[in-house]
């Protein structure tokens, strides 16, 4: 059996983290070379090929793929992989989802990996509707590929906390996008379709989050949300 070590990370700007010490004094290229994951999926890269620093385009023996948004400095996903995929694609459904750089699909002999940056629905009713359309189209697509026999791994920023245990203040956020019943119901449907939240296979406790509001210094108080997943 071939084993893969896969990381997923919403970097909130790939160029921004490239110059920062992020772990044990290491900057991002050093971090990647030290950790040596087989695959590293990134979300919210906020960079296009023209503005990507050369040192980020080729790190060690990694192949690098980038799907930027048409709007500069916004959204985007990336993928570092030590093994060149059999196929790479950047879309899964209707054309309205192609402009924001939210998807990379990498097909390997053993599985198909999706690194996805799902929309945030908090800005307006229109953005919430867009998020829900994205959710529905992706679920239909992933069910179809599963039925066709593909072994699927989904990683990325889903922008929704599934259960009350997945955020520090569930009561206060029941009417906030990211914890709305309709958003959480979609995660129910994903799980009911056979996809497994792998973190919860190993950890059932509370207090484990992946996003904290930097404006309120929430990380130091661990007032966060678990919105990033592997399925």
Assign 113 a pLDDT band (cuts: 50, 70, 90).
very high
- Helix, strand or coil for residue 203? coil
Question: How many domains is the chain built from?
Answer: 2
- 124 & 228 share domain: yes
Do 77 and 122 belong together in one domain?
A: no
| 121-155 pLDDT, tens digit each | 998 999 999 999 999 999 999 999 999 999 999 99
Q: Which residue has the tokens 């406790």?
A: 205
Specify whether 122 is located in the same domain as 231. Answer: yes
| CATH code for the domain of 217 | 3.60.10.10
Query: Is residue 95 situated within a structural domain?
Result: no
Residue 110 lies in a domain: no
Q: Domain limits at 56?
A: 1-83
Average pLDDT over residues 190-211: 97
Tokens of 71: 């709007």
Say if 60 falls within a structural domain. yes
Q: Are residues 48 and 140 in the same domain?
A: no
Is there a single domain that holds both residue 159 and residue 54? no
Q: Is residue 130 part of a domain?
A: yes
pLDDT band at residue 21, thresholds of 50, 70 and 90? confident
| Rounded CA separation 164/206 (Å) | 9
pLDDT(6) > 90: yes
- What is the per-residue pLDDT for 31? 92
Question: 93 pLDDT exceeds 90?
Answer: no
63 lies in some domain: yes
DSSP letters along 142-184, please?
HHHHHHTT--EEEEEE-S---SGGGBS-TGGGTTSTTS-HHHH
User: Is the domain of 54 the same as that of 133?
Assistant: no
Mean residue pLDDT across the chain? 95
Count of alpha carbons within 13 angstroms of residue 121, beta-carbon side: 26
Do 161 and 225 belong to one domain? Answer: yes
User: Among residues 24, 56, 83, which one ends one of the domains?
Assistant: 83
Q: Whole-structure pTM over 0.85, yes or no?
A: yes
Both 67 and 123 in one domain: the answer is no
Q: Does residue 93 lie in a domain region?
A: no
Residues identified as active-site: 157
User: Quick check: 25 pLDDT over 90?
Assistant: no
When pLDDT is cut at 50, 70 and 90, the band that residue 19 belongs to is confident
Residues 181-200 have a mean pLDDT of 98
């Amino acid at each position: 059996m071939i084993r893969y070590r896969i990381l997923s990370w919403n970097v909130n700007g790939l160029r921004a983290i490239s110059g920062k010490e992020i772990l044990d004094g290491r900057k991002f290229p050093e971090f990647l070379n030290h950790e040596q994951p087989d695959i590293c999926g990134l979300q919210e890269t906020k960079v296009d090929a023209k503005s990507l620093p050369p040192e980020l385009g080729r790190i060690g023996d990694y192949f690098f793929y980038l799907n930027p948004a048409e709007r500069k400095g916004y959204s985007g996903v990336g993928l570092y992989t030590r093994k060149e995929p059999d196929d790479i694609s950047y879309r899964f459904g209707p054309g309205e989802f192609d402009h924001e750089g939210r998807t990379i699909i990498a097909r390997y002999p053993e599985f198909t990996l999706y690194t996805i940056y799902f929309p945030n629905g908090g800005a307006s009713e229109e953005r919430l509707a867009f998020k829900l359309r994205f959710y529905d189209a992706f679920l239909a697509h992933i069910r179809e590929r599963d039925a066709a026999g593909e072994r699927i791994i989904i990683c990325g920023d889903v922008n929704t906390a599934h259960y009350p245990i997945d955020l520090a203040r569930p009561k206060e956020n029941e009417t906030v996008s990211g914890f709305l019943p309709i958003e959480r119901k979609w995660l129910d449907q994903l799980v009911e379709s056979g996809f497994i939240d792998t973190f919860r296979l190993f950890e059932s406790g509370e207090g484990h989050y992946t996003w904290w509001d930097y404006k309120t210094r929430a990380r130091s108080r661990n007032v966060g949300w678990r919105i990033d997943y592997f399925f």
